[in-house]
Chain A
């Protein structure tokens, strides 16, 4: 959950135009806003094939041939990939390391550590905290970091394939690599490695034959095989590994290879653990109808699509985006659906005490923030993800209107 301690929670509004960059740029790209709403950044084209970062209206002195994929980390660092003289660099708060790479993508963050996928001399791996893996591989994908940011993992190709070499492929060419060391068995396919809390174990989806899917923990597959599986997660209470599995054409949940939710769902995915070891997920109790589910008990309210599941800090509540058969969006929670219908709904955000839920929504091209189903009395060209104060009484709204960037701290009672 986003830590909002130490942010400015003074009620009121701040409006900035940050016009300086526009005067010195050929164009400015999309706005990126820091989680606390104090920093806004845009990529600025300052001359043909010359780009700078515009941060709070000031153009950086460093310019590059390209700047792509800028984003803020939860602790407020501005990360982007920049390119100069055919090399790519990771820029963190406008500082770039000395080392350049063939390509960088998929920036990620965990507990203060910034990492990214890297290609160097057509070999693949990761850079973590500015350091590249000692071993790189012929291909790599599905990159991830442990929750404490100390370990990194990816799916890596450990054997070469000739053209249309279907049988070498079927013997297995992929492994999980942790910090550049390939681990355990080689599989036909591996997807979505995921670490436990201290990074000591990594679980991944694997396909062992064209038909047998399983979950491998530290490179060793469960004995049990399934028609297919989705991404595994670690139970923080027991250390067990839990994944949705398909059996007899229906979805259930398995822990360490044993079925814990009998396969009866038309779909079951995006499961999340609470600190107590409860499991929330999105399920389809029947074809075409999706719902929230907790510990194998689906909630009665259904929608044609459910996505962007968020679980409250106390683990007792959940909310998600829902799309109805009328193709309009709404917010689905453990207590039912909110009344409003929208053209888009973003992932709900819970307050620290789990009592309030805020959601960014779009209706007819205007955006606002809704708290507990009640709208803020103003809409904007664009909003960003809302946040709650540590005492759960205030909501941070970050928005754009024309050339204005607006930071509002509103009391929960202002949403009516």
Chain B
């Protein structure tokens, strides 16, 4: 399959400049170093045991959308890392371009295909290793690389400066006091029940999410804090660019923010990939088997608040909603029941997408693809007709709202509904809870 069927090259300055600097010797050395020094028996076993049965094909939304074999998980492996393994890294720079484009932009690392492989082969792991090699070769898409740079320079993914973070919290607190006169966004309070952490875009573009979360915590009488210093961003594009050293540095900053404040746990905002970085990859790279501070996702935390009667709904979100199950918290963490409980608490009626739960289709934004920026937007659109079809089916059953407790899902689905002309609105749980909860502490309207 070497280069024969790859006719979908997309220009990207990061990938092109990267391969322009490569030599075959450098490629061979780097591939060997990663395969021998950083991957264990797992990768080799996966490679050696794949019988090319193709059962994984129908698992992948890229294949389902294009119905073209080269998009199947097995084919993506055998157009990239499989070749590197077989050829001992003896490939040319052009082939690395192909490997990088496949690994960064045609696989969301969503792990759906693991469930369909009779041998349990984890294609996402192989694609992550492919990305690791590309990172080490300096062949990464421009936009995700820029995000990884931002992480390294500021410990957040949006180049938010130290003061801008605190300033945005104070601004939201001030705004909120028109509605809740004694509401606070507590800063650096030691020993409280939880530290609330968010992803970089919240203080930059989606400050209302901070307002809403704070309002919900205020109404629930929560004992919480936010950190005033870097480490507040739980997101991690370095994990997806293959810069694992930076992933470790970010997760250390994040966990130490919580450790310094002696909080009992971290509650994470509605984000999926950040959760993966915290419960699976970043913590382990640092040598922790478990996470060093208890971590719960907003979906778990809101469930607790509802079950304890600390938040009550004045009315439910009107009409019919469907649920986008984010891969990293549903397939990855098993929060299906929590999310169903909440969805039925906050929405009048739910129609499910099919398939759903741990068999859901990815939004096609995850795994860092949306962070690869405008050049690859159409890859996500054409590669997720499968999701558009699911959404249309839900629409036909009356759904007008998509409940999506993940930032990447929001970005991805927003693009999909526009691209495919599906007239639906996308909501975070926080949007719906905030808009419809009983506000005992608000000023009289």
Contact = CB atoms under 8 A, between A and B. Distances in A.
A395 interface: no
B10 interface: no
B284 to A, nearest CB: 8
Nearest to A382: B191
A214 interface: no
Interface in B156-177: 161-163, 166-167, 170, 174, 177
Nearest to A141: B162
Contacts of A27: 182
Which of the listed residues A211, A290, A305, A344 has the most CB atoms from chain B within 10 Å of its own CB? Answer: A305
A249 B288 contact: no
A16 B184 CA distance: 26
Contact of A288 (B37, B187, B289, B373): B289
A189 interface: yes
Interface string A106-122: 10000000000101000
Given A105-B228, A228-B248, A304 B290 contact: yes
Given A27-B182, A210-B138, A266 B166 contact: no
B149 A169 contact: yes
Contact size class for B? Answer: 35 or more
A307 B259 contact: yes
B162 A105 contact: yes
A106 B161 CA distance: 13
Contact of A106 (B174, B189, B229): B229
B289 to A, nearest CB: 3
Contact of B166 (A105, A165, A167, A327): A105
A351 B215 CA distance: 44
Nearest to B253: A191
A48 B182 CA distance: 9
A68 B286 contact: no
Interface in A36-75: 45, 48-49, 66, 68-69
Contacts of A362: 191
A170 B14 CA distance: 12
Contacts of B256: 307
A106 B162 contact: yes
Contact of A344 (B243, B264, B288): B264
Given A106-B162, A213-B245, A308 B38 contact: no
A68 B143 CA distance: 36
Contact of B161 (A48, A124, A189, A343): A124
A31 B122 CA distance: 51
A308 B259 contact: yes
A139 B230 CA distance: 14
A267 interface: yes
Contacts of B161: 119, 124, 139, 141
A287 B287 CA distance: 5
Contact of B145 (A166, A249, A287, A346): A166
Contacts of A26: 181-182
B61 interface: no
B182 A210 contact: no
Contacts, number: 118
Which of the listed residues A26, A68, A165, A269 has the most CB atoms from chain B within 10 Å of its own CB? Answer: A68
B287 A288 contact: yes
Contact of A166 (B149, B181, B287): B149
A248 interface: yes
B17 to A, nearest CB: 7
Interface string B1-29: 00000000000001001000000000000
Given A30-B189, A210-B243, A228-B248, A284 B163 contact: no
A48 B264 CA distance: 32
A161 to B, nearest CB: 8
Contacts of A102: 163
A165 B13 CA distance: 11
A207 B37 contact: no
Given A26-B182, A68-B170, A210-B243, A119 B153 contact: no
Contacts of A49: 174, 177
Contact of B38 (A48, A165, A249): A249
Contacts of B145: 166
A40 to B, nearest CB: 15
A164 B146 CA distance: 5
A295 B248 CA distance: 25
A323 interface: yes
B427 interface: no
A393 interface: no
A307 B292 contact: yes
A170 B18 CA distance: 12
B32 interface: no
Contacts of B146: 163-166, 169
Contact of A228 (B182, B187, B245): B245
A48 B174 CA distance: 10
Given A249-B38, A323-B292, A68 B187 contact: yes
Contacts of A189: 152-153
A29 interface: yes
A343 B263 CA distance: 10
Interface in B104-163: 135-136, 138, 142-143, 145-146, 149, 152-154, 161-163
Which of the listed residues B142, B243, B249 has the most CB atoms from chain A within 10 Å of its own CB? Answer: B249
A249 B37 contact: yes
B162 A210 contact: no
Nearest to A32: B190
Interface string A278-299: 0000001001101000000000
A119 B262 contact: no
B288 A288 contact: yes
Interface in A332-374: 343-344, 346, 362
A48 B181 contact: yes
B425 interface: no
B170 A66 contact: yes
Contacts of A119: 161, 163
A91 interface: no
Interface in A162-180: 163-167, 169-170, 174
B292 A103 contact: no
A4 interface: no
Contacts of A290: 287
B348 interface: no
Contacts of A274: none
Interface in B273-323: 284, 286-290, 292, 294
B162 A267 contact: no
A154 to B, nearest CB: 10
A314 interface: no
A325 interface: yes
B431 interface: no
A69 B262 contact: no
9 contacts: A69-B188, A103-B167, A106-B228, A164-B143, A228-B245, A249-B38, A288-B289, A307-B256, A325-B290
Given A105-B229, A164-B373, A287-B289, 6 more contacts: A29-B186, A163-B146, A169-B149, A266-B287, A267-B286, A288-B287
The 8 closest A-B pairs by CB, nearest first: A288-B289, A267-B287, A103-B163, A266-B287, A284-B287, A305-B292, A164-B146, A228-B245
Interface of A: 26-27, 29-30, 45, 48-49, 66, 68-69, 102-103, 105-106, 117, 119, 124, 139-141, 157, 163-167, 169-170, 174, 188-189, 207, 210-211, 213, 227-228, 246, 248-249, 266-267, 269, 284, 287-288, 290, 304-305, 307-308, 323, 325, 327, 343-344, 346, 362, 382
Interface of B: 14, 17, 37-38, 135-136, 138, 142-143, 145-146, 149, 152-154, 161-163, 166-167, 170, 174, 177, 181-182, 184, 186-189, 191, 228-230, 243, 245, 248-249, 252, 256, 259, 262, 264, 284, 286-290, 292, 294, 373
